[in-house]
Amino acid sequence: MRSAIAMFLVCLSTPSLGQTALPPGYWTESQSAEILAKTEVIRLAPSLDALDEAERGALQDLLSAGEVMQRLYERSKHPEAAASLEKLKSLHEKLGQPAVTRNLLDLYRLNQGPIAITLDNRREAFLPVAPQTPGKNVYPADATREQVDRFLTDHPAQRGEILAERSVVRRATRANIEADIATLERFPLIRGLHPGRIENLRFLAKRASPEAFYAVPYAIAYPQEMTRLFASLMRAADKVEPADAEFARYLRNRARDLVSNDYESGDASWVTGRFARLNAQIGAYETYDDALFGVKAFHSMSILLRDEAATSELRKALGGIQSIEDALPYEPRRRVRDDMPVGVYDVIADFAQARGTNTATILPNDALFTRRYGRTILLRANIMKNPALFAADERIWRAATADAHANDLTSEGNVLRTLWHEIGHYLGPDRDRQGRTLDVALANHADAMEEMKSDLVSLFALHRMKHPSLRAIQASGIKRTLQNVKPRSDQPYQTMQLVQFNWFLDKGLLRADPVTARLTIDYGRYPDTIDSLLKEVLRLQYAGDEAAVGAFFAKWTRWTPELHEKLAERIRSAQGARFRIVKYAALGE
Ligand SMILES: [Zn+2]
């Protein structure tokens, strides 16, 4: 496997013989080669032999829906995405497909748009386009946070719509409003599902002002894409109906959700549905691309193939879930459903925001829908078990720990720890002492605390089960905490991993060599170390004291040059690729 990766690395960064000159604004070949030399290609190709004819037919429509989602996502991240890609493609052909433009096409694929992440973690345009704005293309390019905040203070009634998860914010100019009115006139399906909207826009047009803002639902902002998605999902539903009637119902509900801009029916039938072999995550859920307010969800799509045997084995193991909850070191208890909608899948293809090497998903995030219907857990086995990704984990592990531990890490340990991490989100307190949700009580620290709780519940549960693969699970738990660079405080995952690492050192589970910083593990101390930190995390969550949690993070995130930085250097030089392009056999790649 390693030689295969090396081959890809060479292909991606082969220099051409003569330098081809491009117009200003395009990166040079050496600029792109620097990043591509740190990029590897992963290809996912699960066998589709288990699918019957009906499912295969539906899959084709789902794949074409995915392509629509992909372009939609790129457009919502950058206004010039589609135009700059078209120009680059025609330049590539006109110049006879030289390395310089091939590299730029690879960069576009890697970054899903014309803005690259550089080796020193900056975001930079590599095509002649405007720089990236924090609000991406779902807020006006020239709008600042202060302007929008001021408008919301003066117009509190607009708050809900402007900060909605699935709406695009615009300046209230006559041209913008008239374009939205024209959309509703042209698309009767969307007009009918948004009654009163056209009248509201006509009223707003009379008071148009570039200082003011308004928002339109994604269905109105992206009418062409949404009606195409509606048609593709409806077609897929008809085809898959004979093989999997429940999946067909979910696809129809989601198709309507996309044009009505209300996800409740699709989320309900997704989370509570019992599907056969296919599953799909479809729609806008995660908000981390919105750097202006952190509220806008961006589009994504994953098409998944269920691993029947692994899923039923997993569901059996979940029979004892209540006993894990009851054993957690905290007072208030809750009833946990033991028919959790969890499945093990191979990724057939990912699109848009879901494209990458994410190992597991738990959705939806909406608090009301979660309370009503629960959340579905999707474990992505062919990513968790990918040999190239595991090879990188193993290189890091061996660089960071003493030789005695060289063979402790296995991909199975990673899979089990990840699975129980997702289940961990279901256990422990979901509200604080005062009955507030933890997001409200712990504000900016809520995510880091919740993720740390899930990491620790995972290790706690697997220790209690005396799992046969415990050593590999324990090693995975330590691997998880290793950092290749000092975390920023706005990075919840890395921050809580550093807290665990420092706690492990403090309790003697880890000991660092004073010269090399390599780690020795005292596995005998593992259970007590996990119990003590889990107890503290559950206590802090239930207390709901934001200041106390802040003090806890301040105390446990120290970073020293002689230990942390030295270890980070070892990891950086061992890790290999920084970036990954994922390709999919189902897309003919
Ligand atoms: Zn998590």
Give the confidence band of 373 by pLDDT, cuts at 50, 70, 90. Answer: very high
User: How many angstroms separate the CA atoms of 110 and 164, rounded?
Assistant: 29
Segment 318-332 mean pLDDT: 86
Tens digits of residue pLDDT in 244-286: 999 999 999 999 999 999 999 999 999 999 999 999 999 999 9
- In sequence order, the 6+-apart residues with CB closer than 8 A to the CB of 138 are 76, 168, 169, 290, 296, 298
pLDDT at res. 2 = 34
For residue 166, how far is its CA from the centre of ligand 1 (angstroms)?
23
For residue 454, how far is its CA from the centre of ligand 1 (angstroms)?
6
Q: At residue 9, does pLDDT exceed 60? A: no
For residue 401, how far is its CA from the centre of ligand 1 (angstroms)?
25
For residue 451, how far is its CA from the centre of ligand 1 (angstroms)?
5
For residue 452, how far is its CA from the centre of ligand 1 (angstroms)?
8
- The rounded mean pLDDT for the chain is 93
Q: At residue 70, does pLDDT exceed 50? A: yes
For residue 526, how far is its CA from the centre of ligand 1 (angstroms)?
21
Percentage of the chain modeled with pLDDT above 70:
97
pLDDT at res. 317 = 78
For residue 271, how far is its CA from the centre of ligand 1 (angstroms)?
18
For residue 422, how far is its CA from the centre of ligand 1 (angstroms)?
6
- Lowest mean pLDDT segment, chosen from 3-7, 30-34, 46-50, 233-237: 3-7
**Amino acid identity, position 541:** Q
Q: At residue 5, does pLDDT exceed 70? A: no
> Using the 8-state DSSP alphabet, how is residue 404 labeled?
G
Burial of 38 (0-12, 13-18, 19+ CB in 10 A): middle
User: How many angstroms separate the CA atoms of 484 and 3, rounded?
Assistant: 24
Q: What angle do CA 44, 473, 326 make, to 5 degrees?
A: 115
User: How many angstroms separate the CA atoms of 344 and 312, rounded?
Assistant: 9
Neighbours of 362 (CB within 10 A): 19
Burial of 456 (0-12, 13-18, 19+ CB in 10 A): buried
For residue 438, how far is its CA from the centre of ligand 1 (angstroms)?
15
The torsion angles phi and psi of 177, rounded to 5 degrees, stand at -65, -40
Q: At residue 11, does pLDDT exceed 60? A: no
pLDDT at res. 321 = 85
Tens digits of residue pLDDT in 449-492: 999 999 999 999 999 988 899 999 999 999 999 999 898 877 88
For residue 477, how far is its CA from the centre of ligand 1 (angstroms)?
14
Q: What angle do CA 178, 182, 184 make, to 5 degrees?
A: 120
Structure tokens at 112: 């899903």
Percentage of the chain modeled with pLDDT above 90:
81
For residue 256, how far is its CA from the centre of ligand 1 (angstroms)?
29
Q: What residue spans of 401-445 are helical by DSSP H?
A: 411-424, 438-442
**Model pTM score:** 0.87
pLDDT at res. 492 = 85
Structure tokens at 436: 């507030």
For residue 425, how far is its CA from the centre of ligand 1 (angstroms)?
7
For residue 421, how far is its CA from the centre of ligand 1 (angstroms)?
6
For residue 585, how far is its CA from the centre of ligand 1 (angstroms)?
28
Tens digits of residue pLDDT in 280-293: 999 999 988 898 98
For residue 450, how far is its CA from the centre of ligand 1 (angstroms)?
7
Tens digits of residue pLDDT in 536-588: 999 999 999 999 999 999 999 999 999 999 999 999 899 889 899 999 999 99
pLDDT at res. 20 = 67
For residue 457, how far is its CA from the centre of ligand 1 (angstroms)?
11
Tens digits of residue pLDDT in 396-448: 999 999 999 999 999 999 989 999 998 898 899 988 999 988 888 887 888 89
pLDDT at res. 134 = 92
Q: At residue 78, does pLDDT exceed 80? A: yes
CA atoms within 13 A on the CB side of 380: 22
> Using the 8-state DSSP alphabet, how is residue 331 labeled?
S
Cis peptide before 364 (omega within 30 of 0): yes
- In sequence order, the 6+-apart residues with CB closer than 8 A to the CB of 199 are none
- Lowest mean pLDDT segment, chosen from 32-46, 329-343, 516-530: 329-343
Q: At residue 4, does pLDDT exceed 80? A: no
For residue 496, how far is its CA from the centre of ligand 1 (angstroms)?
11
For residue 423, how far is its CA from the centre of ligand 1 (angstroms)?
9
Burial of 4 (0-12, 13-18, 19+ CB in 10 A): middle
For residue 381, how far is its CA from the centre of ligand 1 (angstroms)?
16
Find where tokens 């119990």 sit: 531
User: How many angstroms separate the CA atoms of 106 and 394, rounded?
Assistant: 27
For residue 480, how far is its CA from the centre of ligand 1 (angstroms)?
12
For residue 584, how far is its CA from the centre of ligand 1 (angstroms)?
25
Query: Who surrounds ion ligand 1 at CB < 5 A?
Result: 451, 454
For residue 395, how far is its CA from the centre of ligand 1 (angstroms)?
24
Work out whether strand 519-521 and strand 510-512 pair parallel, antiparallel, or are unpaired: antiparallel
CB 360 within 8 A of CB 418: yes
For residue 447, how far is its CA from the centre of ligand 1 (angstroms)?
9
For residue 500, how far is its CA from the centre of ligand 1 (angstroms)?
15
pLDDT at res. 207 = 95
